[in-house]
Structures are given as C-alpha cells and as structure tokens.
C-alpha cells in the first residue's frame, strides 16, 4: 500500500465515528432549507446568527464576534520599513506561547505604496542580493511579503518586517508542511529597459519569529505563468497550482526531493479523462455537471518557462481542461478545494473539489485515478459572488473571501450548504487572504484596497465543537 493509500484509509477509519455526530449537527443548522435541482441550497440559515450593525461602519459580524485592525498600510514595521499596501494571500504558523506567525503577500506594482516609502527612499538600505529585481528609477518592483508575530492573548502585533521583496503582484500562495510560505507572482513580464529580470514565478519564504529578509530565488521548475495560489499535500509533498486567466489550466508539480522545491521537479497539467480540452467554465454550454465525480489524468509539460504567456496553451493542446480564473486553493482532509472566480453560467464563480489518487504522482495512479467534481456553482449573487481566496476551517467547512466591492466572507459545509460570516460595509474592497490561526481562535483577513489586516475572534466553536 502506498503512503497516500495508508494515510487516506487511516483518515476514513478515524472519521467514521465522527460522521454520525456531524450529520446530526448539520441537520440542526440547516433544518428547513430547500434544495434546488442543481444541489444548491436556496435558503441560507446563519449558524452564527444574523449580521449585526457596526457603529464603526466597517464590518458586520454575528453576535459574540469582534474584530480589530491589527495592521495598516504605512505603519512603520520593526525593521524600519513601511507596511506595504494591497495585502493579499496569507498563511499562519505556530509561534509558541500563544503567538502566531503570519506571512502576508502584497499585490503591488510600481505605482502602489510599497515598503521603501513614498519616494522609495529606503530601497538603498537593502543589499541588492536581497532584492529579486531592483527595476529602475522609473519602475520599482515593490511586491513581496511581510511577516508579523501576533499575540492571541493580548490581541496585538508584537513585531513585523519585510520578508521578501523585489517581485511583482504577489497575489496568493500556499503553506508548506515544512514551515514556509510559497508566494506567487500574478504577472508575466519580460526583461525590459525598466526590469532586469523576468517575472511570473513562485518564491519560498520561511516562517521565522525574528526579522529576516529572504534571499529571493525563483522556483522556475514550478512554471512561469500568471500564478494565483498553491497548496501542498503533506503526505506526498506534491504541489497543486492555480492560474488566474479566463482560460486557465490547473497544474501539479512533482518535486524531485520532498521539502526542497529548489531541487526541481516535473510540471504537469490536469486532464479530465476521455474529455479532450474539456471546458469546465459552463459559460455557454453546461459541460461540467455539478457534484459528479470525473476521473482525472495528468500530462507532462516540457517548456515550463516560456518567453510568452502560453504555458496553458501547451497544456490544452495536450488535452488539459479549461478553467475560469483559478484562484484560491487549499488542501483539506485528503482533498483539494479551489475557486474559479468567474466560472458558471452567470460568471459568479465556482468551487471545485479534487480527490487525489491513492497512488498520486506514481506510475500506479491509473489503477485508482484521482477525481474532480464541480462542488459548487450557485449562479446566485445573494449566495456567492466571485469567490477568491479560500481556506478550510478547523471544523472542515470551506471559508471563502468574495472579490467584489461590498464582499462577504462565506462558509460552505462539506454538503454544499452556505452561510455568511462577515459583511464589508466600509471601504469598497475585496476581502483577501482569510486564514485561521493554528489554535483556531482567530481568523485573519485583509481588506485589500484599504490596506488593512483584521483579526476576528468569537465563538467559532459554535460550529466546530458543539
């Protein structure tokens, strides 16, 4: 039996006893809901209760929940640099003694406020080998990551610093099992008179509790394309990747060495078996059925660092499926969830669920193929509109950030039932980077265009441990 098969069998065995109790819990929450012919719940109960008004006019939350702004663009960090704007994807790590290490992306281009100050006056304070691309006086590469340490007992940030710099549009990414964050450039640009290096890569940032600026090394074997998010299987260390294009592919990276992405590996694209170049977007014809598991296979890609943005076309010429703007991605309990923000008949978004083979990434995976299903496609903006970043909650539900002017944070149960957690009634901006602390007590989220990072606390166990 493979390591994957053993792991999955153990999970199923251990979860069998839980499932009966969980089923009862869900029926309690969702009693009275009506299911449509598409399998989507048309009435939305709120297990946390209704959204309450906010005297500050920023965030509506259920009773018992509170938020605090813990970081804002322009704040001076511990290392003397400024907190950059446009915070996006995040990951959390256990810092010990009730402290959480948070690594946070910043989706910046040259015109945005970055860590060096309004006139880039602090850029000269950084050794050139610590900046991926210095750019030029006309165009500075301000993207990257910051890291901060948050004390859950005091509700305060104890320290913060610049942890990666010199990149462009660091959108989402993914946490690794070995204690680092993979940050993704959502761009594809070549060397020019203003740029010294090519862009469109992933970079790895280790989680540390003391200020440290990472030496930026592009993970070129993972492919050059308009990256969005990644997730890593803790058993196999296989990395799954999304691409933010209207006609994107889904990618898989098989590393040569576990826990060492810099050692290279093989890049592949997802093909739905016996469905050449299947269009999962459902924009015109409903080719992708809801909640039907389809078998998957993977095709090898050769030129993974193209000079033009065509990697997805190489993949699709080999039969790879087409997706509508792959965005947030997270590895749950033996399965991958990912969002396609403009998928569906009304382009309000889709969520897919991928279940790896028991022999994932080996020559035996054809014996028990992986499967993919369209888990969610509401086509109803009152339920969900333009899902973007997502995470899996400690109790197993998917928690999604909407990408629209007045977004919500939406929870989805494993059965596809939906509920609301928060409403942005302040700055018109998407939510981004929603993620729980390792303890499960705090939910961190960004209001991107406001340049704010919030910490939300409350009775999360109303679902999780009731």
* pTM: predicted TM-score of the whole model, two decimal places: 0.90
Q: What percent of the chain has pLDDT over 70?
A: 89
Whole-number pLDDT of residue 203: 98
Whole-number pLDDT of residue 417: 87
Is the confidence at residue 335, as pLDDT, over 50? yes
Domain tally, the chain? 2
Q: Which two tokens stand for residue 102?
A: 């948070």
Examine residue 46 and state whether it is found in any structural domain, yes or no.
no
Examine residue 179 and state whether it is found in any structural domain, yes or no.
yes
Dump the DSSP string for 86-109: -EEEEEEEEEETTEEEEEEEE---
Please state, in angstroms and rounded to a whole number, the distance separating the CA atoms of residues 447 and 106. Answer: 12
Q: Which two tokens stand for residue 302?
A: 């050769």
Examine residue 361 and state whether it is found in any structural domain, yes or no.
yes
Please state, in angstroms and rounded to a whole number, the distance separating the CA atoms of residues 83 and 247. Answer: 34
Examine residue 455 and state whether it is found in any structural domain, yes or no.
no
Is residue 370 a contact partner of residue 354, using CB atoms and an 8 Å limit? yes
Find the domain containing 3 and state its range: 1-31
Query: Which residues have CB under 8 Å from 400's CB, separation 6+?
Result: 328, 339, 351, 384, 387, 388, 389, 390, 409, 410, 411, 412, 434
More confident residue, 7 or 159: 159
297 alpha carbon, distance to own chain's centre: 23
Whether residue 82 sits in one domain with residue 16: no
130 phi, psi to nearest 5 deg: -95, 0
Examine residue 296 and state whether it is found in any structural domain, yes or no.
yes
Could you report the per-residue pLDDT of 241-270, keeping only the tens digit for each? 999 999 999 999 999 999 999 999 999 999
Whole-number pLDDT of residue 26: 32
Whether residue 138 sits in one domain with residue 13: no
Whether residue 348 sits in one domain with residue 201: yes
**Domain harbouring 205, CATH code:** 2.120.10
Could you report the per-residue pLDDT of 22-48, keeping only the tens digit for each? 222 232 232 223 334 344 444 455 688
Is the confidence at residue 12, as pLDDT, over 70? no
Whole-number pLDDT of residue 37: 35
Could you report the per-residue pLDDT of 346-391, keeping only the tens digit for each? 999 999 999 999 999 999 999 999 999 999 999 999 899 999 999 9
């Amino acid at each position: 039996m493979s390591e994957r098969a053993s792991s999955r069998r153990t999970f199923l065995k251990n979860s069998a006893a839980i499932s009966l109790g969980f089923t009862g819990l869900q029926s309690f929450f969702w009693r009275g809901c009506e299911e449509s012919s598409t399998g989507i719940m048309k009435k939305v109960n709120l297990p946390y209760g209704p959204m309450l008004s906010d005297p500050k006019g920023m965030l509506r939350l259920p009773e018992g929940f509170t938020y605090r702004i813990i970081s804002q663009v322009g704040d001076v960090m511990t290392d003397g640099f400024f907190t950059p704007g446009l915070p996006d994807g995040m990951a959390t790590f256990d810092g010990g003694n009730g402290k959480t290490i948070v690594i946070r992306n910043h989706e910046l281009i040259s015109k945005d406020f970055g860590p060096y100050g309004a006139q880039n006056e602090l850029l000269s304070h950084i050794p050139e080998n610590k900046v991926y691309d210095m750019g030029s006086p006309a165009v500075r590469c301000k993207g990257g990551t910051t890291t901060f340490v948050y004390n859950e007992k005091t509700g305060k940030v104890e320290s913060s610093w610049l942890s990666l710099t010199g990149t462009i549009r660091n959108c989402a990414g993914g946490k690794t099992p070995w204690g680092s964050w993979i940050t993704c450039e959502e761009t594809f640009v070549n060397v020019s008179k203003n740029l010294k290096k090519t862009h469109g890569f992933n970079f790895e940032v280790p989680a540390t509790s003391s200020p440290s600026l990472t030496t930026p090394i592009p993970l070129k074997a993972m492919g050059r394309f308009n990256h969005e998010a990644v997730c890593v299987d803790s058993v196999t260390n296989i990395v799954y990747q999304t691409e933010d294009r209207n006609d994107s592919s889904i990618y898989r990276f098989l590393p040569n060495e576990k826990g060492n992405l810099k050692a290279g590996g093989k890049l592949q694209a997802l093909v739905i078996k016996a469905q050449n170049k299947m269009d999962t977007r459902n924009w015109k014809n409903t080719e992708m059925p809801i909640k039907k598991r389809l078998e998957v296979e993977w095709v090898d890609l050769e030129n993974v660092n193209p000079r033009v943005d065509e990697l997805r076309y190489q993949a699709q010429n080999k039969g790879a499926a087409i997706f509508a703007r792959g965005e947030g991605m997270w590895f749950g309990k033996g399965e991958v969830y990912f969002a396609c923000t403009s998928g569906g008949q009304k382009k309000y978004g889709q969520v897919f669920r991928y279940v790896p083979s028991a022999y994932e990434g080996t020559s035996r995976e054809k014996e028990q193929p992986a499967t993919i299903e369209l888990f969610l496609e509401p086509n109803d903006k009152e339920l969900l509109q333009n899902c973007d970043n997502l995470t899996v909650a400690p109790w197993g539900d998917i928690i999604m950030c909407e990408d629209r002017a007045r977004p919500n944070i939406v929870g989805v149960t494993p059965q596809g039932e939906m509920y609301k957690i928060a409403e942005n009634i302040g700055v018109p901006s998407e939510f981004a980077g929603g993620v729980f602390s390792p303890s499960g007590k705090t939910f961190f989220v960004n209001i991107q265009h406001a340049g704010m990072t919030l910490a939300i606390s409350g009775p999360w166990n109303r679902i999780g441990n009731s």
